[in-house]
Amino acid sequence: PTHKLDQARIPLLKDVLLALRGTGVIVKIELKGEGVTEPVLQLVEEMDMVHQCHFSSFVHDRIALVRQLHPETHTDGSHVYKTGALFHDELESATDEDEDDVVQQALKVGASEVHLKYDQCTKDIIAKIHNAGMSSMAWFRGPVGMKQDSQHKYHDVGNEDIAMYRAVMDTGVRQLCCNRPNVLVHYLHQLYR
């Protein structure tokens, strides 16, 4: 409905950070544009939210820059600045060699997490990621793309329904970036009652 869009406003990153500061919510910030890495890091530092923000990108040089600027680690060896190397369809017809390459690419840029498209997550690749000392996240396409996938690609699960979330979580992935958090929260409440 256009009447709702007329009043819609996309918040600035600073607005989002102000709203979430001190809540304990982890903010995943995707570094999307040229030259955004350093200003984003500066804003997060000025707001004293490094502990609450993770930085990700499909352009792995941006992750490498975060790590170059901030190699600091905690006493347990984990990075103070958390980073996620995003991957799209690199594992579409994956071999063991392809899976190892994804892990090596992430390690090379100093990523603390690997973020795979939801349908690229398998128990094997997730285990390799975790065995390499990194965490994992599955990301879901936007609502239009997910609707297409559920209608034309995957007929055993619905469009981000409980069955789909269960299938992805069964791979061992530790985090989900989804479009229907209400469905995921409902499922998690059922699972952990």
The CATH number of whichever domain residue 78 belongs to comes to: 3.20.20.190
Domains contained in the chain, number: 1
Q: What is the pLDDT of residue 4?
A: 72
> Has residue 145 been placed in a domain?
no
What span, in angstroms and rounded, lies between the C-alpha atoms of 158 and 163?
7
Q: What is the pLDDT of residue 94?
A: 57
**138 within 8 A of 121, measured Cβ to Cβ:** yes
What span, in angstroms and rounded, lies between the C-alpha atoms of 40 and 14?
9
Question: Token pair of 58, please?
Answer: 């499909």
**Residue-wise burial string across 75-96, b where 16 or more C-beta atoms lie within 10 A, e elsewhere:** eeeebebbbbbbbeeebeebee
Q: With DSSP H G I counted as helix, E B as strand and the rest as coil, what are the percentages for the chain, rounded to 5?
A: 45, 15, 40
Q: What is the pLDDT of residue 93?
A: 57
Q: What is the pLDDT of residue 147?
A: 87
Task: Read off the DSSP letter of residue 186.
Answer: H
**pLDDT, one tens digit for every residue, the chain (193 residues):** 577 777 788 899 999 999 999 999 999 999 999 999 999 999 999 999 999 999 999 999 999 999 999 999 999 999 999 999 999 876 665 566 767 889 999 999 999 999 999 999 999 999 999 999 999 999 999 888 888 888 888 877 778 899 999 999 999 999 999 999 999 999 999 988 8
Q: What is the pLDDT of residue 90?
A: 67
Q: What is the pLDDT of residue 95?
A: 65
> Has residue 153 been placed in a domain?
no
- For residue 137, the cross-strand partners are 115, 175
> Has residue 44 been placed in a domain?
yes
> Has residue 161 been placed in a domain?
no
What span, in angstroms and rounded, lies between the C-alpha atoms of 141 and 76?
34
> Has residue 126 been placed in a domain?
yes
Q: What is the pTM of this model?
A: 0.89
Question: Token pair of 191, please?
Answer: 């699972």
Q: What is the pLDDT of residue 92?
A: 62
> Has residue 18 been placed in a domain?
yes
Full domain range(s) for residue 63: 2-139
> Has residue 120 been placed in a domain?
yes
> Has residue 173 been placed in a domain?
no
